Amino acid sequence: MIELQFTEIQGRQKRLLKRLGDDILIIPAEIPRANISKFRQGTNFFYLTGFPEYGAVLVLDPTSEGEQVSLFVRENSEKEQVWDGFTMGADKTSEVCPADKARHIREFESFLSGRLQGRRVHYKAVDGHPCSDIIDQAIKSQSAELVAEGDVFDAIVGMRMVKSPLEVEQMRRAIKITGEAHHACMRAGKHYRQEYQFEAEFEYTGKMQGVMHQAFGTIVAAGSHATCQHYIDNSGPVQDQDLVLLDGGATWNAYCADLTPRSFHLKALLQTKL
């Protein structure tokens, strides 16, 4: 699977490199939005790298001989290792993610020096990214033309819209886990009397199969709560006569499922073998 994904991502990069002509593309990774939340990578960045960590930068430069695909990644300090765990670092990244060269993020500023001179730079900023100022300054100082939307980004969207067999496989896996989580809730529902208990069962089923993120916040709405479009509290009681709406979806390898909605009658569950 890893080898197949590696080859597929390389193919995506090559298609974009052809599209760029003499232009250059810079895509920053996402950054954490809260210190205690599980990090979720930006979708375009992950689609073109398969790299799961935050604070990285991808550069596609078709004019560069021998290094058209450059990936800049963090190498954490001893303090960061104590608090946040370990990063892959440049050496490990080269083994698992396709790039002509994986470099330490500290090399990024010198890498851009002179490279953007008079060129069109396709780049969308990520708020709070540690390299934002470096990129902005390089674009200004080298009289580059910033392109924050248009054909290259449209091309990425077009590529992502047409799913490969490997992508379909990932989506089917997400859907399968999501279906199993729905059925787990229906089975366990005979014993539950709170909406949050169904939510916990749904997400537990996914977690036990390796799901790192939900596609969206799980909705469990019993009785009158089910009349709300996006009820998210999941804090109400569930009575025997209630209809329970469960709206949830697992994410697998960045591909999302959404089974919307599945409703069941708690009294009927109490009388049914599942």
Strand partners, 262: 246
Is pLDDT above 80 for 173? yes
Please give the pLDDT value at position 269: 54
Helices 165-188 & 2-20 angle (0-180, nearest 10): 130
In the chain, domain spans? 2-161, 179-270
Hey, what CATH topology would domain 2-161 get? Creatine Amidinohydrolase; Chain A, domain 1 (3.40.350)
Cβ(179)–Cβ(208) under 8 Å?
no
Q: How many C-beta neighbours within 10 Å does residue 62 have?
A: 17
The whole-model pTM stands at 0.88
In this structure, are residues 167 and 5 in contact, taking their beta carbons and an 8 Å threshold? Answer: no
Tens-place pLDDT, residues 41-68 = 999 999 999 999 999 999 999 999 889 9
Tens-digit pLDDT profile for residues 143-172: 999 999 999 999 999 999 999 999 999 999
Q: What is the pLDDT of residue 1?
A: 44
**Cα distances (Å, whole numbers) of residue 27 to 8, 70, 151, 187:** 18, 11, 15, 45
Residues ≥6 apart with Cβ < 8 Å to 161: none
* Beta-carbon contacts of residue 66 (< 8 Å; ≥ 6 apart): 100
CB-CB contact of 74 with 92 (8 Å): no
Measured CA to CA, the distance from residue 236 to residue 93 in angstroms comes to: 46
CATH class of 179-270: alpha beta
Chain position carrying tokens 């330490």: 104
Structure tokens at 270: 């109490």
Give 53's contacts (C-beta < 8 A, 6+ positions apart).
29, 39, 41, 73, 74, 87, 88
